[in-house]
Amino acid sequence: MTTVVIGTAGHIDHGKTTLLRALTGIDADRLPEERRRGMTIDVGYAHLDLDDGSSIDFVDVPGHDGLVGNMLVGAGEIDAALLVVAADDGPRAQTLEHLELLDALAIRDGLAVITKTDLVPAERVGAVRSEVVARLARTSLAGCEVIEFAATSSASVGPLRDAVLRLCDRVLPSLHAPEDGPRLAIDRVFAVRGRGGVVTGTLRGTLSTGDAVRIEPGGRSARVREVQVHGRVVERSTGGRTALNLAGVDTAELSRGDVIVASGGSAIAATDRLFVAVRAPVTWSASDLAWKPPRPGARLRLHLGTSAVEARVARGARADDAESIELARVLRLASPIAAAPGDRFALRAPAPVGTVAAGRVLDVTPPRGPARRRATADRLAAVLAAADGAARDRALLNLHGHRSGTPPELAADVATSLSSAAAAAVRAHHAAEPDSAGITLPQLRGAVALAAQRLVAIEASEAAAVAADVIASLVAEGRLVRVGDRVADAEAGAAAPSELAAAMARLEAALAVPAPPALAEAARAAGCPAEGVAELARSGRIVRLEADLAWAASEFQRLAAVALAQARREPLTPAAFRDASGTSRKYVLAILEDLDRRGILRRTPAGHVPGPRAPG
């Protein structure tokens, strides 16, 4: 059962932790210093168990202005927000900053709670409500429900609980497990004596005891030794706040910001470069109309999931269209993080401190090398406009020009260019060597692979595989002709005199007899190399029954027709076939065995009779 994760937001001392304690009975301030000082310092957690056996998870974030980084750790993996505003203070600095960050992370549903309503007149509560609604209207939380709460009144808890349940009912239909497997962004790491490392985080998808997992960045392997949900050991977690006891990895190797995924394939990848879309953040001054996107060279701090890392805006892919809501950028990171296309993030400036851009990840491998020339405005716009994973994959393929895989995939224009390069290389060879049977296959593959490396960013081994696929496609289409290890133009190769073609014709003639010579001997006499023999067999011009025994196809078909005609009259014995064909027992037995195997004839005690596949 999917669990909704709700994160608190709001200014310090506006009652976030008190509200959660009243709702769940759990004190989310887990650190002794937090309880001593009466303020949340790091992210805290609580949960509400429901009558149907499901639960709701809460992430309590600090509201102090110096702890925004910790707030983003909590907000980075939530499904909805619980904005808390005190009636006596109204929206304050961190209220607005938290709203900016929730909007940057595209949190699209939530609940606003006006607390401490018992301390002020009703008029003041109404004024704060109006201001909260107005602030929300400029963010991704526009239109969310606003309720009132007084911690001193037990009667406030019921309406609060009902509002939270309504919020969950709205959010649940939009939640789904990741298509490429589970992921858990780590927010806490600690050791348990005798049990090893334990991590906690918000799980998307399902993980079970015994599952093999991978930890990114770094690609370290581990195994789930134990799963806990809300302090209880369970066989598996289907999402929400989850603790994992991991085997096979030291606690020192784990840190906040790491991501746990299934050991198989996943869109999550470790990267120190991101191709992203950025947009203007919500701000609360008139200057927000003059927002300018981060320029190349800007040094910022990227907050994504539970990770935070220094980022520099790089020169490269850009789409500075003044009419666009989102702009494309490449970020170079001070250290690798785990990310996937679609991940949301916030970019913050160190001085003056503030959110300078909201964004989403488009690609974890930005175009590089020759592929940077493909970053045209049209291609970037297509990536920015992609509405779903399939559309994004198509747009990224067009942007990069190729996608690794088995076999590698090419953008249409790249495939066309490489086909043209292959055909041009073959024509150039014919022009330089008119009497040649064609360019050698290794030469042609090398030429096409080099063309691929000039067009797109591709490793040499993959370029060779791409070249092989392009050549094979051209041969299959009939635009090129392959004879053994040689490739010729379909028209030029047919018209040009060819020593190999002549040798193949001589060998075919030598095998057009009832009792042909040994194949190797006949090939030597005809001057036909191994590639010519292979091409004769592949094209059906000769029928090769054994390594050193073959007939010209026309002669073999004549002998097979003789055998079938006799078998129709009476069961055919090897001796009768030998006499009718003028061959020896060696050839007769080989032909009859082949016809039996293919069902043309069927062997019986009396002799060979027509088989189930004999032509009518």
Eight-state DSSP code of residue 292 = -
Which of the four pLDDT bands, split at 50, 70 and 90, describes residue 500? Answer: confident
Kindly state the average pLDDT of the residues 468-494.
80
Whole-number pLDDT of residue 453: 93
Q: What is the largest CA-CA distance in the chain?
A: 120
Query: Does residue 407 have a pLDDT over 80?
Result: no
Q: What is the pTM of this model?
A: 0.72
Eight-state DSSP code of residue 25 = S
CATH 1.10.10, domain 409-495, yes or no: yes
Taking the CB of residue 527, how many other CB atoms lie within 10 A of it?
14
**Which of 28-42, 118-132, 476-490 is predicted least confidently?**
28-42
Whole-number pLDDT of residue 563: 93
Query: Does residue 485 have a pLDDT over 80?
Result: no
Contact call for residues 532 and 504 (beta carbons, < 8 A)? yes
Taking the CB of residue 475, how many other CB atoms lie within 10 A of it?
15
Where is pLDDT greater, at 300 or 405? Answer: 300
Query: Does residue 27 have a pLDDT over 90?
Result: no
Q: Which CATH class is domain 269-368+386-400?
A: mainly beta
Q: Which fold is adopted by the domain 183-262?
A: Elongation Factor Tu (Ef-tu); domain 3 (2.40.30)
Query: Does residue 285 have a pLDDT over 90?
Result: no
Whole-number pLDDT of residue 492: 62
Percent of the residues in the chain that have a pLDDT greater than 70, as a whole number? 91
- CA 358 – CA 278 distance, rounded (Å): 6
Query: Does residue 34 have a pLDDT over 60?
Result: no
Same fold, 183-262 and 269-368+386-400: yes
**Which of 136-140, 332-336, 372-376, 595-599 is predicted least confidently?**
372-376
Query: Does residue 151 have a pLDDT over 60?
Result: yes
**Which of 84-98, 333-347, 367-381, 564-578 is predicted least confidently?**
367-381
Kindly state the average pLDDT of the residues 351-368.
85
Going from the C-alpha of 375 to that of each of 170, 413, 435, 451, the distances in angstroms are 39, 14, 44, 19
Superfamily assignment of 4-174 in CATH?
P-loop containing nucleotide triphosphate hydrolases (3.40.50.300)
Whole-number pLDDT of residue 31: 38
Whole-number pLDDT of residue 382: 85
Extents of the domains making up the chain: 4-174, 183-262, 269-368+386-400, 409-495, 508-610
Query: Does residue 29 have a pLDDT over 70?
Result: no
**Which of 60-64, 173-177, 270-274, 587-591 is predicted least confidently?**
60-64
Burial 496-516 (b: 16+ CB within 10 A, else e): bebebbebbbbbbebbbebeb
Task: Give SS3 for 64.
Answer: coil
CATH 2.60.40.1220, domain 508-610, yes or no: no
Which of the four pLDDT bands, split at 50, 70 and 90, describes residue 498? Answer: low
Whole-number pLDDT of residue 524: 93
Sequence-separated contacts (24+) of 439-446 with Cβ below 8 Å: 439/486, 439/487, 439/488, 440/485, 440/486, 440/487, 441/471, 441/482, 441/485, 441/486, 441/487, 442/485, 444/471, 444/487, 445/471
Which of the four pLDDT bands, split at 50, 70 and 90, describes residue 576? Answer: very high
Query: Does residue 606 have a pLDDT over 70?
Result: yes
324-340 tens-digit pLDDT: 556 778 899 999 999 98
Where is pLDDT greater, at 28 or 113? Answer: 113
Query: Does residue 376 have a pLDDT over 60?
Result: yes
Kindly state the average pLDDT of the residues 76-86.
90
200-238 tens-digit pLDDT: 999 998 999 999 999 999 889 999 999 999 888 999 998
Percent of the residues in the chain that have a pLDDT greater than 90, as a whole number? 41
521-574 tens-digit pLDDT: 999 999 988 888 887 887 788 999 998 999 998 899 889 989 999 999 999 999
Query: Does residue 40 have a pLDDT over 60?
Result: no
